[in-house]
Amino acid sequence: MPRQYRTTVVGVQVAAAPTARQCHQAHNEGRVVGFAILVGLSDPHRSVELRPIVVSTAHRGRGLGKKAFREVVARAFEHGAHRVWLEVKETNHVVPDLYANEGFSREGVLREIVREPDGSWSSFVLMS
């Protein structure tokens, strides 16, 4: 029997208006197998950030990331977003293709923005 997945909103933080957040969880057989976070739902410029979608290793490759991406982006627009943006580590060569296939495009690079534990620097690609 194929596994059935569902996503739910598990929390909304509305403390500071521009940084209101929603956390979405993906469930399978009653267990959390992934999550995604939207940030900036009440931003006056209606620019909403999608934080990385995380899917457990055991549930990758089954379309859950794509399903979660579509549902979370749709939720952002339902909340009045003008645009949804995200950042992806430049060395990640898999996820940007998923986002591009869903209509997102590369907008730029945040060059050497994160220092890694080994002392090297990582860059992130901006997409929306």
Output the domain CATH number for residue 99: 3.40.630.30
Q: Give the pLDDT score at 123.
A: 97
Residue 16 CA, chain-centre distance (Å), reads: 20
Q: Is 17 helix (H, G, I), strand (E, B) or coil?
A: helix
pTM: 0.79
Both tokens of 74, joined, read 């749709």
98 sits in the region (left: phi over 0; alpha: psi -120 to 50; else beta) called alpha
The domain of 99 spans 5-127
How many domains does the chain divide into?
A: 1
Q: Give the pLDDT score at 19.
A: 59
* Mean per-residue pLDDT, 31-53: 88
Contact 28, 59 (CB under 8 A): yes
Distances (CA, A) of 10 to 24, 35, 78: 6, 10, 17
